[in-house]
Structure 1
Amino acid sequence: MMTLLLAWASICLTIIWAPSNWLWSFTTAHGLLVSLVSMYLIFNLDSELFIVDNLSGPLAMLSCWLFPLTLLASQPKMYFEPMFRQRVFIANATLLQVFTLLAFMSSDLMMFFFFFETSLIPTMIIIARWGAQDVRLDASNYFSLYTILGAVPLISILLVAYSTLGMLKPSPELPLMMWTTTFPYPTFLWFILNTAFLVKLPLYGLHLWLPKAHVEAPIEGSMVLAATLLKLGGYGMLRTSTLLQVPLYHTALLCMVFALLGIMITAFLCYRLTDLKALIAVSSVSHMNLVVVAALLHTPWSFSGATAMMIAHGLTSSALFCLANTLYERTNNRTIIILRGALVIFPLAGAWWLVVVLFNMGFPPTPSFIAETLIFTSLFHWSKIGFFIVCLALLFTTGYSLYMLASTMRGPFPLHIKVPLPFIIREQLLLVLHIVPVIFLMIYPSLIFF
């Protein structure tokens, strides 16, 4: 584990000593090298405090893979900042990556909670300092307030349990306390354990911070939020679900109803949104509520489907935010009606949009389709009505995905944009590095369930 931490700490040397003209090139290359080395070290991890299994391994690899991509996407905005601020930005992004990686691999629930909450600090700095508009401070406050308030019940019960029973030895199941099997109020215990995760995921009704944070965050913040930080909530839910021996859909039926309705309502809401980044952010709520349903079903198939859904959504949503950012850099606007007609000027961009939108709506045989098949199968055995609701929401998901594609690509190009810059090699490479892993998982889907 020390080798892994030292590998990430070595990026600080590049941040400090890299020449100004080569700062982003050196740090991106160094970050890619460290990410590849980390993926190798993750499989050979030998530590009692950190684990890698079928759940934490794919998410940790996803976090490593996306780190150099965030640096690659942030260059245009950060290039005109003072050099000291550029170095601070890269250092802050590296710190966020380390906290996220340690959270995914922590074997003890208290340690996981520590890194889970610590990731709030660099994320809040990214939104508040490098956000696009003045209301970025409000978005940062929303994000921090929701996260902190949601964490209060969990930290309270953790402190009581650890002070009463003492620190338990770490194991792959993240044991919390010996009395979970005999606790008289399992529903109350489940809500206490999962409030922080439901806010971070987020569950519909607790999601109001997400569109604001996504819209105001820079591209690096949007990519990290959608690809890894939201997955911390799903990861926590899947881990803590093993602490209760009763079926969760019996003890948390109200949460299941909110999740099923949230999938439907957010899909409807996407048709009314005019901001492209807000549309992508709200669509993430719909996908993540499907993870909540999978965690509550508490079956091996639903757990496998939730893991596949988090991996697929992490790559797809990050690619969507990159595409939205490319249009924003050329138009200085995120309103969908103003972004129309890009296919006429950028035909290759239209191909990228088509591929990523197909990934987003679960076109066979993408990883999203595999994940939805696994979750839908488990849901069908539990409730036919719930299965019908989710299938109906899937149709609306296809509709707003095609609406997003048609609204940005088709139609006449705006006349007020005189000199649209073509897509450059950096942007093409960024999209390729998002799409290639998805195609690789289509060929070898067993890699998600190693």
Structure 2
Amino acid sequence: MLKIIIPTIMLLPMALLSPNKHLWTNITAHSLLIAAASLQWLTPTYYPSKGLTHWTSIDQISSPLLVLSCWLLPLMIMASQNHLEQEPMIRKRIFIMTVLSVQPFILLAFSASELMLFYIAFEATLIPTLILITRWGNQPERLNAGIYLLFYTLASSLPLLIAILHLHNQIGTLYFPMLKLSHSTVNHSWTGLVSSMALLLAFMVKAPLYGLHLWLPKAHVEAPIAGSMLLAALLLKLGGYGIMRITVLVSPVLSNIHRPFITLALWGALMTSAICLRQIDLKALIAYSSVSHMGLVIAATMIQTQWAFSGAMILMISHGLTSSMLFCLANTNYERTHSRILLLTRGLQPLLPLMAIWWLLANLTNMALPPTTNLMAELTIVISLFNWSSLTLILTGAAMILTASYTLYMLMMTQRGTIPSHITSIQNSSTREHLLMALHMIPMILLIFKPELISGVPM
């Protein structure tokens, strides 16, 4: 674990001390090396936990998410390069250091074997994200978005802290392997119900559950590209990962506590897909589609069967890569047209024909076309939900149809149609952008051949 965390932390002095000419090259190359080194975590093992120390343990659930977070760091740096071109050098360095400072906390949160350490790392990711949105956002509403993000997250995480301390009082340890061995600690009294709710609430806001999701579209729309990628691909996954870890502690007899969550998550998947169909802002459309996909993840993690967990894991990784790629594509359009309104940026296929290929591939994976891992995940989740209750098929089926509809709508609006009259000349797509898209797409294609690497099932 340290051989990844220490090089990641050493990126901070590197960002500060690199010569101006080689700043981007150094950071990108170094973070790509870290990403390559992190692939070792995907190797199969006979032990439930790899690298078990007093403070970290990497098992089948955390290793794919750890690799995803290491993989996306160089991509965030590459995506931000053009956006910061006109900035003074010191601003570039501070921006890079802000993006880099989230990474050690994310790695700690995904690999912590102790509940309190997980909580601290989970909360610490908030500060750099907030700085990114409020300092480097594009519009004046960014402060409003930052306040939404801060207060939603803080209001939900205080009950979590109290519930963790209550757990510690009851059991005497917060060490995950020990918590699994102790019998279900949450009793069937009112306090048990309230502490279960408190344990789940913070992760439901982070994931986000429909009804607690209002901070997400705001934060996405206002964030710079690195902030959007960070939020969509990694911070939402902290919510899903947290639910997976915590549901072990919540008594299975309290299954009635799961019903409203599963219903709300599926209803949310349906509603946000419908919202996407009438969305005029490209970034907001992609943000709402994230809420819809994470609704399926929440529903699956609440069922707590092996199949459902496996589907949720595959969907989290697939969605991390897909939504990150969609945000990058939306950003390439924004950098050229300086608008996110779909009507003002349509018909770009004749102008940027190569970008149209990436748009097509990203949208096909988003709508879960076979043989992508997104389809594998959605089918697994739909089957496990159907097994839980056959009525869920109506909601999941409708949500999947709407997902295909708004994805095709997004593709048609951005690529086809008449070119608006105000677009007279447009900058060509660069090699850096194509490399960025390829580095999102290649893992998705490779995972089709070996999905068990990310399915969370011991190999």
TM-score for both structures, normalised by structure 2 = 0.94
Quickly say closer, same or farther: Cα 1:160–1:382, change in 2 above 3 A: closer
Distance in 1 (CA, whole Å) between partners of 2:181 and 2:337 is 51
Alpha carbons 1:109, 1:176 under 8 Å: kept: no
Task: Give 1:91's aligned residue.
Answer: 97
The structure-2 alpha-carbon separation of the partners of 1:2 and 1:96, relative to structure 1 and needing over 3 Å to count, comes to same
- What is the aligned-residue identity percentage? 45
Q: Would the aligned equivalents of 1:109 and 1:174 in 2 still touch at CA under 8 Å?
A: no
Cα offsets for 1:332-385 (capped at 9, x unmatched): 000001111111111111111111101001111111101011111111112121
Q: In structure 1, how many angstroms separate the alpha carbons of the residues matched to 2:38 and 2:400?
A: 36
Select 2:53's aligned residue among 47, 72, 93: 47
Match in the other structure for 2:37: 37
SS in 2 for 1:384: coil
What is the 5 A alignment of 1:12-411? 12-40=12-40, 45-163=51-169, 165-171=171-177, 180=185, 182-185=187-190, 186-246=192-252, 249-411=255-417
Verify the 8 A CA contact 2:137 2:224 in the aligned structure 1: yes
* Distance in 2, Cα, partners of 1:177 & 1:141: 39
Letter in 1 for 2:132: I
CA contact (8 A) 2:186 2:195 kept: no
SS at match of 2:371: coil
Q: Deviations over 1:232-257 (max 9, x none)?
A: 00000011111134166432212222
Give the conservation status (yes or no) of the 8 Å contact 1:168–1:175.
Answer: no
**In the TM superposition, what whole-angstrom CA distance separates every residue of 1:395-436 from its partner, at most 9, and x where no partner exists?**
011000000000000011122122101110000000000000
Structure 2, unaligned runs of 5 or more: 44-49
Contact 2:138 2:224 in 1 (8 A): yes
Provide, for residues 44-101 of structure 1, a one-character-per-residue CA deviation record: whole Å limited to 9, x for no partner.
6342311111110000100000000000000011122121121111111111011111
SS in 1 for 2:252: coil
Cα pair distance change 1:176/1:411, threshold 3 Å: farther
**CA distance change for structure 1 residues 229 and 5 in 2, over 3 Å: closer, same or farther?**
same
Q: Which residue of 2 aligns with 1:2?
A: 2
Runs of 4+ with >4 A deviation = 41-44, 173-179
> How far did residue 42 of structure 1 move?
7.8
Does the C-alpha gap of structure 1 residues 162 and 438 become closer, same or farther in structure 2, counting only changes over 3 Å? same
- Matched to 1:184, the amino acid is S
Deviation digits for residues 109-131 of structure 1, max 9, x if unmatched? 11111100000000000001000
Q: What is the rounded CA distance, in whole Å, between the counterparts of 2:193 and 2:419 in structure 1?
A: 54
RMSD: 1.8
The 1:88/1:41 distance shift into structure 2, 3 A limit, reads farther
How many pairs were matched up? Answer: 449
User: Could you say what secondary structure the match of 1:413 adopts?
Assistant: coil
**Are 1:107 and 1:174, in contact at CA under 8 Å, matched by a contact in 2?**
no
Alpha-carbon spacing, 1:258–1:446, altered in 2? closer, same or farther (3 Å): same
Do 2:269 and 2:399's aligned partners in 1 also have CA atoms closer than 8 Å?
Answer: yes
Mapping of 1:415-426 within 5 angstroms?
415-426=421-432
Cα deviations across residues 175-214 of structure 1 (Å, max 9, x unaligned)?
5976625342454332111100000000000000000000
1:86 counterpart SS class: helix
Structure 1 Cα separation of the partners of residues 196 and 186 of structure 2: 12
Separation in structure 1 between the aligned mates of residue 60 and residue 345 of structure 2, nearest angstrom: 41
Q: TM-score, normalised by structure 1?
A: 0.96
Farther-moved stretch of structure 1 (7-16 vs 230-239): 7-16
| Distance across 2 between alignment mates of 1:162 and 1:306 | 28
Contact 1:72/1:430 (CA < 8 Å) preserved in 2? Answer: yes
Secondary structure of residue in 2 paired with 1:344:
coil
Contact kept? 2:188, 2:254, Cα under 8 Å: no
Code of the aligned partner of 2:124: T
CA 1:58–1:156: 2 relative to 1, 3 Å: same
| In structure 2, C-alpha distance between the alignment counterparts of 1:392 and 1:116, rounded to whole Å | 33
